[in-house]
Amino acid sequence: MEERRPTAIILISEGFHEIEAFVPFYRFLEIGWQAQFVSPQLIETIRGKYGMAFSEFIPIQKFDYQSADLLIIPGGRSARYMMTRHYVDVQPLVFHFLEMGKPVGAIGHGPLVLAQSKHKVTSFLEVTGAESIANDLRKHVKAFREDPCVIWENIVTAKEEKDLPLFIRSLFHVLFERDRSTHEYTDLNKHTYPVLKE
């Protein structure tokens, strides 16, 4: 029987931070996961923060996100854009991951999507994120921390682009190291990588 490959979904919309989106995308492909960009926008092409025109995404409305294993929310202008213009489509996805206790990673402005989701867990949440949204985050979460990266239960948040290496290591820690009994390890290209069990 063929082993199911875990799936990481990366939530983007107009103005997304390209580097904060593509670094996690390729890191999860590297360890043998599936990675998929999803967007609440029903258009063919969206433009990133630095001008990249991008069309390799699936609309949330057409994607079975409930079968995904990890949600990643990059920063850029897209976080505020999604919560003001596409809240009705984004909220059910975020609620699913928070309600099921699935791992979530958010970086830069991305934690704003978690904080403004109105899920009950946000009142207990401790996060970090871009300094420019610190006051907005403090209105919705238990604590805003100045650390470059924060792990709170299954939620990982990071401040900015330069913290991506720590952000990825923290996601791997949450996924593969905190409870080794739920994971197995496979050899991929002569390196040992963890793979989530079904």
Confidence of residue 4 (pLDDT cuts 50, 70, 90): confident
Q: Which backbone phi and psi does 189 adopt, to 5 degrees?
A: 55, 45
- Can you give the pLDDT at residue 177? 83
* Vertex 172: Cα angle to 152 and 129 (nearest 5): 45
User: Which residue stretches of 2-117 are H helix?
Assistant: 18-30, 78-85, 87-100, 111-115
pLDDT tens column, 65-85: 999 999 999 999 999 999 989
d(CA 30, CA 75): 22
Mean pLDDT of 30-57: 94
Domains of the chain plus CATH, in order, are 7-177 (3.40.50.880)
- Can you give the pLDDT at residue 184? 39
Structure tokens at 21: 């989106």
pLDDT tens column, 144-191: 999 999 999 999 999 999 999 999 999 999 999 865 443 333 333 333
What pTM was computed for the model?
A: 0.88
Q: How many CB atoms lie within 10 A of CB 192?
A: 8
- Can you give the pLDDT at residue 139? 95
The yes-or-no verdict on residue 196 having pLDDT over 70 is: no
Please name which of 20, 16, 106, 10 lies closest in space to residue 52, comparing C-alpha atoms: 16
Confidence of residue 3 (pLDDT cuts 50, 70, 90): confident
- Can you give the pLDDT at residue 46? 95
Q: How many CB atoms lie within 10 A of CB 155?
A: 24
Q: Which amino acid is at 193?
A: Y
- Can you give the pLDDT at residue 171? 97
In the predicted model, what is the mean pLDDT of the chain? 89
pLDDT tens column, 51-64: 999 999 999 999 99
Q: What SS3 state is found at 114?
A: helix
Please name which of 164, 113, 161 lies closest in space to residue 140, comparing C-alpha atoms: 113
The yes-or-no verdict on residue 112 having pLDDT over 80 is: yes
User: Which residues is 191 bridged to in the sheet?
Assistant: 188
- Can you give the pLDDT at residue 185? 34
The answer to whether residues 114 and 140 touch, using CB atoms and an 8 Å cutoff, is no
- Can you give the pLDDT at residue 2? 59
Structure tokens at 146: 């100045």
